[in-house]
A and B are shown apart, each in its own frame.
Chain A
Amino acid sequence: MSEGVILLVGTRKGAFLYHGDGGRRSWRVEGPHHLGAEIHHMVMDPRERGTILMAAKTGHLGPTVFRSTDYGRTWKEAGKPPAFRKTSSGDGPAVDHTFWLTPGLSAQKGVWWAGTSPPGLFRSEDGGDTWTGIESFNEGIVPGLKEVIGPIPGGAIVHSILIDPRDAKRMYLGISTGGIFTTGDGGASWKPLNNGVAADFIPTPDPEVGHDPHCIVVHPKNPDRLYHQNHCGIYRLDRPSERWERIGKNMPKLIGDIGFPMVVHPRDPDTAWVFPMDGTTVWPRTSIDGKPAAYRTRDAGLTWQRQDGGLPREQGWFTVLRQGMTADGLDPLGLYFGTTGGEIWMSADEGESWRPIVSHLPQIFSVVAAPGAS
């Protein structure tokens, strides 16, 4: 019997935790927590089971981070949330919201990373209580991006902060919009990693930066294998190559390769899932033709298979945002996605069939699967 799964669900109006039994058949809700606050991300600390960090913002009270050490039952606010350096002129950036949270490696006790909007990278060394800006990035990289495309609706964000499990100094992150960047020295210096990635919205051919990665993943077993879902396609990168290959060109032409989330199979670097959306005409970003479906590849993007068993056959017009799809790591792998319509769907057979497990939530920003309490 498995120990079960907890789904950490961030919504536009609060946080919810769903505790699944070992068979993932029944789910018990705990919440809402911080009702009324925008919860962009909740992540459990793999080094300290039961510890969860939450990125929260209320419209009128600004951004902050909360920490729980009891599986989300109680929360304590960070003593010093992510905030940019105060400028002498007073016209510097201010964090609108923390969008992304990433725990450090197992040997990095207390280390967390956070990505914000407007774009900023922050690090905590005390379990998320106090946060310090990474100036090499916030003041060395970000200002140079502003002239490429200018302000975007909703504001640019730092997301997909990824650490090579073999080397904590090697990291990747995405700025939407801004592009993918990597460091080999723990964040002291950064370089763009966008070769081969389309950026149809920039008039300059093959720009070095300014791209719009939506979701980047590094495979945990083969950290030289990266995938990413972009505003302009689906890509794979096998390091040390620095050129992304557009594997989305192998998707059915009527579906295309636009979407937000991308999830890898934690035990198979060749298997990954995307959840395409309509990126045509005025960019509706809903399920294509009102017929939602995941697409899976088992050969690193050479071919894709449609997985819509149990999903609405028509008139299903939701969107799955970039943090809204996740895998639980059990065997067989459980997959989950939350929708902008406030539903959570799950598959206990690696995407072959889906069933709704939660309805009537506010707009779902993020769904993260974590091990349940043992």
Chain B
Amino acid sequence: MAVLIYAENWEGKFKKLTFELASYGAQLASMIQTQLVAVSIGEVADEELLKLGNYGVSKVISLNHPQIQSFDSRQITRAIAQVAEQVEAVALVLAANNSGRALAPRLAVRLKAGIASGVNQLPTSISPFVVSKKVFSGGAFASLTFDTRVKILTLLQNSMELNEQIVSCTIERFEPTLDGGLTSPKVLESHKHAGKILLSDAEIVVSGGRGMKSADNWAPLLELAELLNAATACSRPISDEGWRPHDEHTGQTGKIIAPNLYIAIGISGATQHIAGVSSSKCIVAINNDKSAPIFESAQYGIVGDATKVLPKLIDALKVIKNK
């Protein structure tokens, strides 16, 4: 019996997100009184795989099959399901990111498992298995009960603190049995945005809205982001207008993020925008209008013209940094 996590890697390396999953999985395994196993797919060095042992993973099952070189969710689902059956997984935990959202529902059907997606906390009870998650884009929480032996959870990024728990960890190789039945999607082209801090990975995010008045005013916002080692984001009208790239749009129909700090500059705080950032640990708002809804969600605020407040904020930050 085991809790199984999908330890995703990016070009052979794990991210903080992978260890968040392990930390969550370790605590879940402890609640269920079983062991924590991880499945890794692709070419990942042993040295990297063993890092999972620092977060409570006692066994890593590593797969590297020629048929799973590109992301074919149908094939990867089969492979993970076979591992889950081998270790008799009673719970699977994946990240609630692009790949997790592609795999988890397919796995749920294949393993006849109930699924709760986008959880940000451990189950409130094991027997019965009850876990809480946000619904209505953050408008409420729902407590879900499971009627299945196997349970699948997808975890929101940055909702679990890393919990170092060093255990002895072994690596096992696994050969999945895959069918050649259906043609996998063929990758024609792959494009990576160079250099930028990924919005979903960033601990600090600096975001701009209509209060910035013009695309030409973005330089101070970028400077602030750089000083804070932050990723940049924007509200929907900004990306619709083309002032900022679409992948910066944060909100209900854009990216949902949960950084430690979200600085909303010149953003009014419409419901749909808040839905994208309400899980942030701390929200700061800078807006000209004291009655802007953003201040209902912010912990700290400055009422003022974004374009005038930003330079002062940057100067103050530089002074403090130099001390």
Q: Do A and B come from one complex?
A: no
Binding site for B on A (CB under 8 A): none
Binding site for A on B (CB under 8 A): none
